[in-house]
Amino acid sequence: MLRWSDVIKYAKYSNPEPPRRVEKTEDEWRAQLTPAQYRIAREKGTEPPYRNAYCRSYEPGVYVCIGCGSRLFDSATKYHAISGWPSFTQPVAKNAIRYAFDGSHHMQRIEVLCNVCDCHLGHVFPDGPEPHGLRYCINSESIRRVDA
């Protein structure tokens, strides 16, 4: 299980090796994604809190990347974080996610991206529930729930 110290180490030094890579041109991404998905997943946008698909949804399944279909989060790790966005405590695998320091909006945050196709997912914070203390705060537009 990942801890905050692992996240910092990945963001600072090097991320885990992805299981595969998917790379597309911006035109290909625009053709594949809806405008809202493109703005968030490829231009690092943020959807409005609460008014998004998965904030209050707790049905079982696996959340996959909107860009490449890679498995990112299991519904068993989803919890109610009162943030307005779907929140998870752990990714499905250590190498599912890539981490990067993000100094935008006058904040110091750690961005989380799909490790396979670099779609922007959201951010991770060290204020999640015990025992590992991580809160992956994810945009609904960047993910899609499928049956496990």
**Which residues are known to be catalytic?**
137
Position 67 contacts Zn ion (CB under 5 A): yes
Position 41 contacts Zn ion (CB under 5 A): no
- Closest approach of Cβ 45 to Zn ion, in Å? 16
Number of residues that bind Zn ion (CB under 5 A): 8
Binding positions for Zn ion, 69-98, rule CB under 5 A = 70
- Closest approach of Cβ 133 to Zn ion, in Å? 25
Could you say which of 33, 64, 65, 121 contacts Zn ion (CB under 5 A)? 65
Q: Which residues contact 27 (CB under 8 A, 6 or more apart)?
A: none
CA dist 53 and 24 (Å) reads 26
- Closest approach of Cβ 65 to Zn ion, in Å? 3
When the beta carbons of 20 and 127 are compared against Zn ion, the nearer one is: 20
Could you say which of 2, 116, 137, 143 contacts Zn ion (CB under 5 A)? 116
Query: Hey, which residues does 143 pair with through a beta bridge?
Result: 65
Structure tokens given for 14: 């090097």
- Closest approach of Cβ 121 to Zn ion, in Å? 9
- Interface residues toward Zn ion, by CB under 5 A: 65, 67-68, 70, 114, 116-117, 119
